[in-house]
């Protein structure tokens, strides 16, 4: 299992559109991918789970990948979270 | 009508503009869900009913995605993909099925209960920004439940006359069914700047005020309303005083609008018959319908950075191709100038992991990025553009070119990609026009040498001003120095046009200066071939072009170049503008 912590930086947090991006990335991998916030942990392939996590600005998420392609999965998941941090630019328009 | 007292409500200004009109209330559809206990033998059939309701709903959502994409663009449409994923999520589907089996209850009840549970969780979240998402869950709950109950999707009240649409909350599927030509504006109790209705309002250019909280208790169907999308105000049953104040503001706005509207189909031609190419700048594909309605000369600058800022995973070739194709179809033969990615500077995309720079505006941005780590990004975009070039008049424009060798490098890379496509047998326009932005002083100084090696030049005044005067345009302490009318800038503009023409190359302008009505005559006089302006300024600039003669513009351009300070130039331009256009434009 590999993992990494990420702090949500965009103003609106993980909303519907960012959640879509996360799911679209996660489902590409065979590994189990979980996101944990405080004591709650959800499946990153579930959009409802992500929405229910209330990942607002400033919250710390632990991204956990477990499986044969876990390293690659973690890298892509980190990238998608970084991309989401850019979202403010667009949502402010 | 008796004396009215204003009921003034403050909300969030979500989309600018003013609307005055009657209110049409879009009510939430009532949904009756009764709990029924099933016989064990009926459970399988109930699950089947649920599955087929989900399938019908997903097929609806896919259609709505396409429809929204076609009329409002990709970004607005994505919400329907979110909806689809929710209906494929085990946390919804499996949970509902388990509930049906375990509790032996009807599918609509089980599903509603689960969705209600999510709604109350969302409502209980500390970050209020998440509360708006309940609208999406409601929307899905209604859709699926209606299918389970064997009904069809209810149609909304028809918008038969122009109205201000009010709703407690407007779901994505509600909004897509509204006849957009009859929407004067949106007012909502619920919602935020990120609500779906807000995004649509902005894309069709109508005012919207959201987050009004309890307006629903005060508004009746048919009430008069003033919607002030600039200040986020909503006035119900306005007093005569408010009404006349807003009517005046609205009338001024409308009379100019109408006057300008009346010239929509007329050419941008001076009184003495010189045709000026008048194109539009575009930032998002959603704007293309609005731009087509202006009957201009196509798109003179399509900024493609939205593809990165939208935050999706790296935009694929296919995704870009589809966007370009969609725009070309709408433009029906008119030109589309695509500026390749101008990323970097102060907003580097996270996906490129650029190192931090002390001077981002003098750093890796525009074409400089393409050799620095953005090779793939360049290649993918050029492939998409070339493929689309088989379908219409597409032209390529490179940003931030500082010297001829950069232009050569870009052209060589372009050529290499063309060879690739040849090998693959992919069709494209082999003589696709290639131009550059002139926005760096070193390029401006050798416009003739640049013009010899490309098909067109387009002056990007925003950066040209900041680099010429060495002033960061975001620096408030230096705002006085960011001068559009600076004599050095004007000389550059004049030289670029002159030298371009010497080489037989046409010269356009896509910076803010092209949208500045004070500068229109001067630029015509300098011989500028193409103005690419923001869609809001399009008709105003056309109206000015239609009221001037080329020879008077020429002498005005000469005179403007004589002044020593920006302030003198501005005074000269303002005086003439006031004298000449004040009455014309009722300013």
- In sequence order, what are the beta bridge partners of B398? B436
Domain that holds residue A6: 2-91
- Lowest-confidence segment of A18-27, B35-44, B122-131 by average pLDDT: B122-131
In sequence order, what are the residues at sequence separation of 6 or more whose Cβ sits closer than 8 angstroms to the Cβ of residue B475?
Answer: none
* Residue B185 host element (H or E): strand B183-188
CATH of the domain at A22: 3.30.1340.10
Give the dihedral sign, CA B47/B53/B55/B61. negative
DSSP letter at B316 equals -
Joined together, the tokens standing for residue B16 give 């600018």
Interface residue A23 vs chain B (CB under 8 A)? yes
pLDDT tens readout for residues B169-200 = 777 777 767 777 788 999 998 877 666 777 67
Pair B155, B173: CB distance under 8 Å: no
Q: Are strands B530-533 and B208-210 parallel, antiparallel or unpaired?
A: unpaired
Question: What integer pLDDT is reported at residue B582 of this predicted model?
Answer: 73
pLDDT at B349: 63
Pinpoint the alpha helices (H) of B88-126. Answer: 93-103, 107-123
| CA dist list (Å): B339 to A35, B306, B401, B531 | 38, 12, 12, 16
Does B79 contact A17 at a Cβ distance shorter than 8 Å? yes
Between CA B292 and CA B314 the distance in angstroms is 29
A-facing residues of B in 478-497 (CB < 8 A) are: none
Which of A18, A20, A79 is the closest to B85 by Cβ? A20
Greater model confidence, B581 or B510: B510
pLDDT digits (tens, 9 = 90+) for B526-558: 999 999 998 878 998 999 999 999 999 999 999
Flag whether pLDDT at A91 surpasses 50: no
Rounded (10°) CA dihedral B195, B199, B204, B210: 40
Kindly state the average pLDDT of the residues B143-169.
80
Evaluate if residue A65 carries a pLDDT over 80: yes
Lookup: tokens for B326: 């969609």
Beta bridge partners of A6: A61
Please indicate whether, in this complex, the C-beta atoms of B127 and A13 are within 8 angstroms of each other: yes
pLDDT category, B587, cuts 50, 70, 90?
A: very low
Q: Where in chain B is the domain with CATH 1.10.274.10?
A: 42-148
Question: Does B356 have pLDDT greater than 80?
Answer: no
How far off is chain B from A54, nearest CA to CA, in Å?
A: 7
Instruction: Say if the Cβ atoms of A79 and B313 lie within 8 Å.
Output: yes
Where in chain B do CATH 3.20.20.60 domains reside?
A: 263-581
Beta strand A60-66 with B12-15 is unpaired
A7–chain B Cβ distance below 8 A for any pair: no
End-to-end C-alpha distance for chain B, whole angstroms: 33
Angle between helices B74-87 and A16-26 (to 10 degrees): 60
| Three-class DSSP labels, B356-406 | CCCCHHHCCECCHHHHHCCHHHHHHHHHHHHHHHCCCCEEEEECCCCCHHH
| Res. B224: pLDDT tops 50 | yes
Chain A residues near residue B82 by CB distance under 8 angstroms: 16-17, 19-20, 47
Q: How far is B4 from chain A (nearest CA, A)?
A: 37
Q: With pLDDT > 90 as the criterion, what percentage of chain B qualifies?
A: 55
Interface check A87 vs B, CB under 8 A: yes
What is the pLDDT confidence band of residue B43, given thresholds at 50, 70 and 90?
A: very high
Q: Quote the pLDDT of residue B1.
A: 44
Overall domain count for chain A? 1
Query: In angstroms, what CA-CA distances link B473 with B211, B239, B360, B478?
Result: 34, 44, 13, 8
**Residue of B83, B196, B234, B538 with catalytic role:** B196
Chain A positions in Cβ-Cβ contact with residue B313 (cut-off 8 Å): 21, 24-25, 79-80, 83
B384/B304 Cα distance (integer angstroms)? 12
Q: What is the average pLDDT score of chain B?
A: 88
Q: What is the pLDDT of residue B353?
A: 61
Residue B16 has pLDDT above 50, yes or no: yes
- Cα(B508)–Cα(B1) distance, rounded to whole angstroms? 55
If DSSP codes are grouped into helix, strand and coil, which group holds residue B92? coil
- For the B263-581 domain, the top CATH level (class) is alpha beta
Average pLDDT over residues B114-125: 92
Q: Determine contact, residues B353/B315, Cβ cutoff 8 Å.
A: no
Q: What is the pLDDT of residues B441-459, one digit of tens each?
A: 999 999 999 999 999 999 9
Task: Tell me, yes or no, if B510 is annotated catalytic.
Answer: yes
Are A13 and B125 in contact (CB < 8 Å)?
no
Would you call B91 and A54 a contact, using CB atoms and an 8 Å cutoff? no
Tell the CATH topology of B42-148: Enzyme I; Chain A, domain 2 (1.10.274)
CATH code: domain B7-28+155-252 is: 3.50.30.10
Residue B501 catalytic? Answer: no
CB contacts of A92 in chain B (<8 Å) are: 193
**Contact state of B130 with A54 under an 8 Å Cβ cutoff:** yes
How distant is the alpha carbon of residue B359 from its chain centre?
A: 29
- The interface pTM score, or ipTM, of the predicted complex is 0.90
């Amino acid at each position: 299992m590999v993992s990494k912590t990420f702090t949500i930086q965009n103003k609106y947090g993980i909303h519907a559109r960012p959640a879509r991006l996360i799911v679209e990335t996660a489902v590409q991998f065979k590994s189990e991918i979980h996101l944990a916030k405080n004591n709650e942990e959800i499946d990153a392939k579930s959009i409802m789970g992500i929405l229910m996590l209330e990942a607002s600005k400033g919250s710390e998420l632990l991204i956990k990948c477990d499986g044969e392609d876990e390293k690659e999965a973690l890298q892509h998941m980190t990238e998608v979270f970084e991309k989401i941090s850019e979202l403010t630019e667009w949502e402010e328009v | 009508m008796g004396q009215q007292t204003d009921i003034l409500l403050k909300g969030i200004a979500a989309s600018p503009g003013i609307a005055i009109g009657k209110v049409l209330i879009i009510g939430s559809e009532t949904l009756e869900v009764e709990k029924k206990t099933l016989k064990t033998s009926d459970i399988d059939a109930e699950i089947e009913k649920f599955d087929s309701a989900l399938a019908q709903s997903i097929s609806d959502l896919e259609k709505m995605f396409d429809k929204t994409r076609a009329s409002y663009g990709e970004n607005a449409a994505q919400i329907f993909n979110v909806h689809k994923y929710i209906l494929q999520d085990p946390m919804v589907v499996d949970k509902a099925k388990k509930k049906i089996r375990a509790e032996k209850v009807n599918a609509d009840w089980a599903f509603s209960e689960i969705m209600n549970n999510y709604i109350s969780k969302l409502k209980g979240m500390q970050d209020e920004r998440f509360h708006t998402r309940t609208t999406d869950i409601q929307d899905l709950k209604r859709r699926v439940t209606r299918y389970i109950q064997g009904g069809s999707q209810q149609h909304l009240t028809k918008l038969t006359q122009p109205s201000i649409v009010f709703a407690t909350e407007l779901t994505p599927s509600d909004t897509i069914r509204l006849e957009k030509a009859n929407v004067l504006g949106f007012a909502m109790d619920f919602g935020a700047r990120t609500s779906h209705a807000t995004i649509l309002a902005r894309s069709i250019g109508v005012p919207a005020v959201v987050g009004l909280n309890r307006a629903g208790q005060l508004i009746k169907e048919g009430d008069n309303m003033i919607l002030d999308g600039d200040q986020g105000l909503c006035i119900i049953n306005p007093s005569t005083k408010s009404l006349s104040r807003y009517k005046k503001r609205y009338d001024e706005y409308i009379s100019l609008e109408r006057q300008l509207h009346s010239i929509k189909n007329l050419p941008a031609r001076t009184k003495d018959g010189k045709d000026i190419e008048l194109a539009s700048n575009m930032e998002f594909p959603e704007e293309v319908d609005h731009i087509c309605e202006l009957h201009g000369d196509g798109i003179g600058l399509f900024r493609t950075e939205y593809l990165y800022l939208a935050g999706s995973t790296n935009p694929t070739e296919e995704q870009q191709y589809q966007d370009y194709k969609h725009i070309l179809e709408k433009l029906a033969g008119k030109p589309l100038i695509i500026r390749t990615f101008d990323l970097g500077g102060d907003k580097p995309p996270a996906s490129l992991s650029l190192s931090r720079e002390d001077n981002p505006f003098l750093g890796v941005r525009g074409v400089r990025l393409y050799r620095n780590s953005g090779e793939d990004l360049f290649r993918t975009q050029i492939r998409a553009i070339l493929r689309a070039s088989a379908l219409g008049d597409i032209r390529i424009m490179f940003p931030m070119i500082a010297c001829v060798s950069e232009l050569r490098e870009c052209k060589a890379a372009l050529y290499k990609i063309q060879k690739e496509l040849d090998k693959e047998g992919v069709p494209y326009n082999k003589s696709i026009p290639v131009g550059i932005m002139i926005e760096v002083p070193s390029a401006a100084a050798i416009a003739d040498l640049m013009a010899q090696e490309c098909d067109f030049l387009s002056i990007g005044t925003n950066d040209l001003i900041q680099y010429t005067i060495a002033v960061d345009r975001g620096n408030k302490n230096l705002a006085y120095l960011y001068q559009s009318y600076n004599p050095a800038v004007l000389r550059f503009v004049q030289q670029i046009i002159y030298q371009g023409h010497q080489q037989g190359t046409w010269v356009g302008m896509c910076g803010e200066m092209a949208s500045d009505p004070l500068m229109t005559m001067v630029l015509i006089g300098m011989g500028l071939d193409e103005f690419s302006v923001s869609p809001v300024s399009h008709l105003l600039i056309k109206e000015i072009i239609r009221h001037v003669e080329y020879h008077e513009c020429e002498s005005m351009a000469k005179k403007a170049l004589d002044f020593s300070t920006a302030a003198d130039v501005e005074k000269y331009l303002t005086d003439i503008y006031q004298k000449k256009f004040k009455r014309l434009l009722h300013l």
